[in-house]
Chains A and B, each alone.
Chain A
Amino acid sequence: MNKVPIREGLFTEKTEGDLVGFKCKGCLHVLPPLTVTCPYCYGEELEKMPLSRRGKLYSYTINYMGSQHFKPPFATGLVELPEGFRIFSPLKEKQGKPFKVGMEMELVVEKLWNKGDDEVIGYRFQPV
């Protein structure tokens, strides 16, 4: 099976490593993955930078209805990174660590689903 990233350029090493954010060369704000135009100064010169692998759980839900790729139940949430913004993420459960707002979370880069003969590599956060 081939590994393909859920989005090109999302990770520092194609299908592993850290999430790639940006630093705006114009106003130096650090920006979330996949940003095209800086929302602060509208600059388009963005420099890639790896983002922190740890953050705090800002909010979460356990979904008991399916989504496009996930069968229920599955957990999703918003994780606040030290860079000062939050990203939406599927969440991975960890035995003995029920989700709680404010808890420390860490990045896991792994296969989320198969697409034809490819393994689609995305990210989830799980309790530390």
Chain B
Amino acid sequence: MSRMTLRRVAVIGVGMSKFGKQPEKGLVDLGTEACIAAIKDAAINPKHIEGCYCANSFGEMHCIGQDIASKVGVVNREMVRVENACAGGSTAVRETFLAVATGRYDIGLAIGVDSMTTCVPKGPMASNKDIDGELGLTAPGYAALQMRRHMEKYGSTNKQFALVSVKNHHNGSLNPYAMYQQEMTLEEVLGSRMVCDPLTLYMICPFTDGAAAVIFCSEDKVAQYTSTPVWMVGSALRSGDYSLFWKEIDASPMGEQVAAEAYELAGLGPKDLDLVELHDAFAGCEISNTEDLGLCPRGEGGVLIEEGATALGGRIPVSPSGGLLAQGHPLSASGVRQVCEITWQLRGQAGKRQVDGAKVGLAHMEGGIVSGIQGGACGINIFTR
């Protein structure tokens, strides 16, 4: 992709639905709520939106993007639904960005939506008749295996895993969009019900219903819509290699590779970041993922959280929104929702959770379990103001 000539592309509007358990709302209700907010934020006439990628994991209906978009005045356009497990939203963001950056159209809409309470998944593997899924491998069960390796190899501790949840719940308590807007103590996290040893209940993101939407615009038209554009400058996406059988599981070679590619396209490195929105579906993920992103040396993710470096006011705040743990995780919405948070942060609109003077933000999502490969997908997108 870096060999291609890309136009500069800006985020001109973002919006979210309420995040929470709201089974009375369908996918279209949630998506419409987010799109209306994004369209208002961009102050754009919807007829100027020329294309749409809609990420959705668990809906059984066809053409979910078309249904949502038709409610807000976007019809007769190029529209595609994408599914990429936890990285579905990152994928919709990336594809919309690329469509604008390569000149396929000038203004595009990325949507992510899932209703986890009404479309309860059987598990990522069981539904594919994957043998490991049948044999009892689940997403939290796999995270627990990774966490135990990290503990064995680097001496990371239960307390460090729990501190991730304490930090992200604190951030969530400052975020009016978060599903959980309350503090959680270390004792509460460690003392909550054991789910997959060493993973306790409060180290696991909740099932959430919600949607998010982002409007992208080519540089030549940006001035018509906003004086505070947020530029999307880096993006990469990959599936995992055949490494599950052979490589250590306490790190994500897929995540490292995607980070390197996104940094290269952006011409930036980990030291340039002011904030990161990260895939913390399980508290242990945050520790190894901060290492994958190069925020600290390999094996020091536990120390990074314990020293407060990733807290608001720290060296590199991670998930000021509250992350998936507090913000909630409607699977395909999260990668789009992260872009809303980063946009608000870079515009200086993030209220009590504002990272002072934030100029560069990175959004990271990683997930999907497939027997034999290291992971389904990792998507990273980078933004500047």
Is there an interface contact between A84 and B132, defined as CB atoms closer than 8 Å? no
**In this assembly, does B268 line the interface, its C-beta being within 8 Å of a C-beta of chain A?**
no
Is there an interface contact between B245 and A101, defined as CB atoms closer than 8 Å? no
**In this assembly, does A34 line the interface, its C-beta being within 8 Å of a C-beta of chain B?**
yes
**In this assembly, does B126 line the interface, its C-beta being within 8 Å of a C-beta of chain A?**
yes
**How far is the CB of A104 from the nearest CB of chain B, in Å?**
16
- A60 neighbours in B (Cβ, 8 Å): 145, 148
**How far is the CB of A31 from the nearest CB of chain B, in Å?**
8
Is there an interface contact between B123 and A68, defined as CB atoms closer than 8 Å? yes
**In this assembly, does B315 line the interface, its C-beta being within 8 Å of a C-beta of chain A?**
no
**How far is the CB of B313 from the nearest CB of chain A, in Å?**
34
Closest to A112 in B: B135
Query: A59-B149, A78-B145, A84-B246 in contact; A64/B193 too (CB < 8 A)?
Result: yes
Give the size of the chain B interface in residues (CB under 8 angstroms): 33
Closest to B242 in A: A39
Distance A44 CA – B194 CA, assembled complex (angstroms): 43
- A88 neighbours in B (Cβ, 8 Å): 132, 135, 137, 371
**In this assembly, does A53 line the interface, its C-beta being within 8 Å of a C-beta of chain B?**
no
**How far is the CB of B133 from the nearest CB of chain A, in Å?**
7
Q: Mark B143-184, 1 if CB is under 8 A from A, else 0.
A: 011101100100000000000000000000000000000000
**In this assembly, does A77 line the interface, its C-beta being within 8 Å of a C-beta of chain B?**
yes
- B188 neighbours in A (Cβ, 8 Å): none
Which B residues from 94 to 151 make CB contacts under 8 A with A? 122-123, 126, 131-138, 140-141, 144-146, 148-149
Distance A31 CA – B229 CA, assembled complex (angstroms): 51
- B134 neighbours in A (Cβ, 8 Å): 6, 68-69
Is there an interface contact between B145 and A6, defined as CB atoms closer than 8 Å? no
Which A residues from 39 to 88 make CB contacts under 8 A with B? 39, 58-65, 67-70, 74, 76-78, 84-88
- B244 neighbours in A (Cβ, 8 Å): 86
Distance A87 CA – B131 CA, assembled complex (angstroms): 11
Query: A6-B131, A65-B195, A78-B145 in contact; A90/B245 too (CB < 8 A)?
Result: no
- B73 neighbours in A (Cβ, 8 Å): none
- A25 neighbours in B (Cβ, 8 Å): none
Q: Mark A3-34, 1 if CB is under 8 A from B, else 0.
A: 00011000000000000000000000000101
Is there an interface contact between A89 and B135, defined as CB atoms closer than 8 Å? yes
**In this assembly, does B303 line the interface, its C-beta being within 8 Å of a C-beta of chain A?**
no
**In this assembly, does A127 line the interface, its C-beta being within 8 Å of a C-beta of chain B?**
no
Query: A59-B145, A60-B145, A60-B148 in contact; A32/B197 too (CB < 8 A)?
Result: no
Is there an interface contact between B197 and A62, defined as CB atoms closer than 8 Å? yes
Is there an interface contact between A59 and B197, defined as CB atoms closer than 8 Å? no
Is there an interface contact between A76 and B135, defined as CB atoms closer than 8 Å? yes
Distance A87 CA – B137 CA, assembled complex (angstroms): 12
Query: A65-B140, A78-B249 in contact; A59/B135 too (CB < 8 A)?
Result: no
Closest to A38 in B: B242
**In this assembly, does B196 line the interface, its C-beta being within 8 Å of a C-beta of chain A?**
yes
Closest to A36 in B: B372
Distance A60 CA – B148 CA, assembled complex (angstroms): 7
Is there an interface contact between A76 and B131, defined as CB atoms closer than 8 Å? no
Is there an interface contact between A90 and B196, defined as CB atoms closer than 8 Å? no
- B138 neighbours in A (Cβ, 8 Å): 63, 65, 67
Closest to A39 in B: B242
Is there an interface contact between B145 and A101, defined as CB atoms closer than 8 Å? no
Is there an interface contact between A67 and B126, defined as CB atoms closer than 8 Å? yes
Distance A78 CA – B246 CA, assembled complex (angstroms): 11
- A68 neighbours in B (Cβ, 8 Å): 122-123, 126, 133-134, 136
Q: Which of the residues A70, A85, A112 comes within 8 Å of B245, measured between beta carbons? A: A85
Is there an interface contact between B131 and A86, defined as CB atoms closer than 8 Å? no
Q: Which of the residues A34, A39, A59 comes within 8 Å of B131, measured between beta carbons? A: A34
- A7 neighbours in B (Cβ, 8 Å): 131
Distance A84 CA – B247 CA, assembled complex (angstroms): 10
- B193 neighbours in A (Cβ, 8 Å): 64
In order of increasing CB-CB distance, the 5 nearest A-B pairs are A61-B144, A39-B242, A85-B245, A68-B126, A59-B145
Extra inter-chain contacts (10) besides given A67-B141, A86-B246, A122-B135, CB under 8 Å: A7-B131, A34-B371, A59-B148, A61-B145, A67-B136, A67-B137, A68-B126, A76-B136, A77-B145, A88-B137
A–B pairs, 23, beta carbons within 8 Å: A6-B135, A34-B371, A39-B242, A59-B146, A60-B148, A61-B148, A62-B197, A64-B194, A65-B140, A65-B195, A67-B133, A67-B137, A67-B141, A68-B126, A69-B136, A70-B136, A76-B135, A76-B136, A78-B145, A85-B245, A88-B132, A89-B135, A122-B135
